[in-house]
Structure 1
Amino acid sequence: MKENVALIGWIATVMTGVVAPALILALIWKTPDTLLRTGEAGQFVSATASVGGFFSSDITTVQSTTGSIAVYNTFSAPRNQLLVVRETLKNGLQLCAENKPDTCVGLAGSWAGDMKPVPHARHRFAGLVTGIGNSGASLWLLIGILVSVGATGILAQHVDREGRRRS
């Protein structure tokens, strides 16, 4: 009976810690990146980069005609280039030069400006809507694998003890 309880616990651990986040990551990977909302961020004035630490990304402060915007990594554009903030299903909030999606970089915080929804935007995967993104599901998967390995060791030790006790 104890073996069955231990086995059920191990299966539940693996299902919760490994299978669920792996499925979420697969669905995120399969879901197309959809533009959800856009907003104006003024015209580009200048950018000042600061080097990140060992565990942190570089941060660039972008000065526009409407204010300062902190973004991850580096950003540059021609002076007076129109800037937009956009939110996509997979990448979240990004700052971009208008009509140049290859210039987009992630915002290092939230956006207080107005955002207009894109009419054709549809949420394709509910997990992304609830805030479970790539990084959250990846962390969940990593922790789940570590806990599952530990649970496997405990189960193996338990089965070994039971086998010796019966011998």
Structure 2
Amino acid sequence: MYIVDYITRELANNQETLEETQNKGVVLALYEALSARDVDKVQKLLASDLEWWFHGPPSHQFLMRLLTGTSDKDYSFNFVPQSVAAFGPTVIVEGCDRVRKITWVHAWTVTDGIITQVREYFNTSLTVTRIGNNSTDQSGFATSITSLHCPSVWESSLTSQVGRSVPGLVLAI
């Protein structure tokens, strides 16, 4: 029985890894399409009702202007991913524009191969935590508030590149 449970868990873990790899591929394909200004490919990768969250100065809404076509034709802000991590449907991408002294983090949600949500952070240190619990009853609910546990699974690493203090936020997944 233990061996069957172990194999089942391992297969489930491998499936999660496959899902995460596929989700990272979708997000990286989006960055390639953005870089190439390939509108057709961008439209295929994004849900038509993309949910958007933005944290940063309004002047830094580069991605929104790029995707909506409201940026000047001469204007260019290239999103070059410097780190990528996936946690189930969530893909975290971090980058930095040293010339402008801007760091950015995008937290994408991928559902069935389509990006359905983006949370965008500019000049903000981000910590991603996974909500879970250490102890559950038969129905899967935490047996007490004190058993809830939120480990950090990812943290911004490029915020020091801008040479100033930035606010910090926590994203719970």
Does TM, normalized by the shorter one, top 0.5? no
Structure showing greater radius of gyration is: 1
- Structure with greater proportional helix content: 1
Q: TM-score, normalised by structure 1?
A: 0.30
- Structure with greater proportional strand content: 2
